[in-house]
Amino acid sequence: MKVAIGADHAGFELKNEIVAWLESAGHQINDLGAHAMDPDDDYPDFAAAVANDVCSGDSERGVIICGSGVGACITANKVKGIRACLCHDTYTAHQGVEHDAMNVVCIGGRVIGIELAKAVLEAFLGASFIPEPRFQRRLDKLTRVEQNGRG
């Protein structure tokens, strides 16, 4: 799978470990930075880059890492067509894809370590949307909210 990944300074070390691990697992990685540790960089720059890469179709899924994952998630969800979620457990990582067609996962580099991050990413990347009528109906409603800017 082609995966876009980005992280600010707070997720920089974890991102580098994850990139190496994903590549060893056979994934094609589009590393959108940070490429050097910069304590003054800002998570919205990397979150927007990953979200735009996924939205354009250049990557199938996205991974964003910042300190808590919250700011990255908020930023990514501002991009039309992105369904990002903060996940620090395997259940939400796969259920978000299966039920809600989540296409970007956000992780807190100051919240979880590499082994849990790997488990979360395995669940996220291994899941597929389940096209049951109830899930599709909900996704269609979500898309209408996104297009209209309100419920």
Give the tens place of pLDDT for each residue, 64-109: 999 999 999 999 999 999 999 999 999 999 999 999 999 999 999 9
99 is catalytic: yes
**What percentage of residues in the chain have a pLDDT greater than 70?**
99
Question: From the CB of residue 30, how many other CB atoms can be counted at a distance below 10 Å?
Answer: 17
Is 35 in the active site?
Answer: no
Q: How many structural domains comprise the chain?
A: 1
pLDDT at 149: 78
Q: Are the C-beta atoms of 104 and 76 separated by less than 8 Å?
A: yes
The crossing angle, in degrees rounded to 10, of helices 12-24 and 114-126 is 50
Q: What are phi and psi of 104, to 5 degrees?
A: -135, 130
In angstroms, the CA 116 to CA 129 distance is 23
- Give the model's confidence band at 151: pLDDT under 50 very low, under 70 low, under 90 confident, else very high: low
Tell me which residue range forms the domain holding 136. Answer: 2-148
CATH number at residue 7: 3.40.1400.10
What's the mean per-residue pLDDT of the chain? 97
Measured CA to CA, the distance from residue 15 to residue 10 in angstroms comes to 10
pTM for this model (two decimals): 0.97
Choose the catalytic residue: 9, 73, 85, 99: 99
d(CA 7, CA 13): 9
Residue 148 corresponds to which tokens in the numbers above?
Answer: 């209209």
The single residue of 9, 35, 55, 66 carrying the catalytic annotation is: 66
User: Hunting for tokens 């890492």 — which residue is that?
Assistant: 65
